[in-house]
Amino acid sequence: MIIEESQDVDHSEIIEKVMGEEPKIASALKNFCSMKLADGDQDQAARTMKMARALSLAINAHILPQPPQWGLLHPQGENQTAIDRLSQIAVYKVLFKMRQMLSSRENAKATQLFGRTLLEFVLSDVRASVESSVPDGEREQLSSFLDAFQLELEKVDSLVWCRDFNAEIEKRHAQRREEAKQRANKEEEQQVQYMRDQIGALVRDARNDGYEGNTSGAGLE
């Protein structure tokens, strides 16, 4: 079943949302590479940057199909409501028109002008062309790279898609430091309480054995 877009859709709101998205795809890719390179060596860094560049080039070269064709290629999901489908079609039509307009501009790159929304529509289609562009020996590593990047795209709280990547990293580091400090304080309190309990047990045992502390010296010869 093909669902046509409602006539009362406010395209201006969609345009404003799409154009206002931060970070853009290019910045998100840089953020993702920064995360991947944190624990890697120079060889791994070079491979990661190469894969990110291949994906970026494929996104910029990707031609969006006409909306009716896109609808046939990407039918309504089994659990997708009619309202959600109408909204999805409306967003795609806006993306299609915007992409057409930008294609006439010299040096206009989709990765620098669009953010998360465009990528959600094109990543699955772009992926096949990216994987076919590399030698067989590199395809498995590229697939892992794309899987990880797609996972970040699907996360609501993805660090890759934060507006201010560096500020968010510092915020999370500070949060982890505070959590570590609280754990250390709690462990120290538990150790102190343990020692108190042990000393208390020793005192009780001594009293049960008939020993009474005598600080006055009475009875001593």
Residues 158-201: tens digit of each pLDDT = 999 998 887 766 766 566 666 766 776 777 778 878 778 888 77
On whether both 177 and 120 belong to a single domain, the answer is no
The domain boundary, picked from 163, 181, 197, lies at 163
Q: What is the pLDDT of residues 91-141, one digit of tens each?
A: 999 999 999 988 778 788 999 999 999 999 999 999 988 988 888 888 899
The domain boundary, picked from 163, 179, 200, lies at 163
Residue 2 lies in a domain: no
Range of the domain at 181: 164-208
Q: What is the structure's pLDDT at 187?
A: 77
Predicted confidence (pLDDT) at residue 23 exceeds the cutoff of 50: yes
On whether both 154 and 170 belong to a single domain, the answer is no
On whether both 83 and 153 belong to a single domain, the answer is yes
Cα 84 to Cα 5, 64, 78, 87: the distances in Å are 11, 21, 12, 5
Residue 218 lies in a domain: no
**Using CA atoms, how far apart are residues 5 and 17, in angstroms rounded to an integer?**
19
On whether both 41 and 132 belong to a single domain, the answer is yes
| Overall average pLDDT of the 194-209 stretch | 79
**Using CA atoms, how far apart are residues 139 and 136, in angstroms rounded to an integer?**
5
On whether both 77 and 151 belong to a single domain, the answer is yes
For residue 189 the two structure tokens come to 């309190």
For residue 111 the two structure tokens come to 């990765």
On whether both 29 and 118 belong to a single domain, the answer is yes
Q: What is the pLDDT of residues 29-56, one digit of tens each?
A: 999 998 888 766 677 788 889 999 999 9
On whether both 102 and 178 belong to a single domain, the answer is no
Owner of token pair 């006439």: 104
| Overall average pLDDT of the 75-80 stretch | 94
Q: What is the structure's pLDDT at 220?
A: 45
Q: What is the structure's pLDDT at 46?
A: 83
Residue type, 204: R
Residue type, 73: L
Q: What is the structure's pLDDT at 172?
A: 62
Q: What is the structure's pLDDT at 198?
A: 81
Q: Quick check: 109 and 60 in contact, CB under 8 A?
A: yes
Residue 38 lies in a domain: yes
Predicted confidence (pLDDT) at residue 86 exceeds the cutoff of 90: yes
When computed from its CA atoms, the radius of gyration of the chain, rounded to whole angstroms, is: 30
Residue 145 lies in a domain: yes
**Using CA atoms, how far apart are residues 31 and 159, in angstroms rounded to an integer?**
8
Residue type, 150: Q
Looking at per-residue pLDDT, the higher value among 21 and 103 belongs to: 21
On whether both 152 and 196 belong to a single domain, the answer is no
Residue 216 lies in a domain: no
Residue 213 lies in a domain: no
For residue 171 the two structure tokens come to 């915020």
On whether both 148 and 193 belong to a single domain, the answer is no
Global confidence as pTM: 0.73
On whether both 15 and 69 belong to a single domain, the answer is yes
Residues whose CB falls within 8 Å of the CB of residue 72, separated by 6 or more in sequence, listed in order: 2
On whether both 126 and 185 belong to a single domain, the answer is no
Looking at per-residue pLDDT, the higher value among 62 and 180 belongs to: 62
**Using CA atoms, how far apart are residues 77 and 207, in angstroms rounded to an integer?**
76
On whether both 157 and 177 belong to a single domain, the answer is no
Number of domains the chain contains: 2
Owner of token pair 């620098």: 112
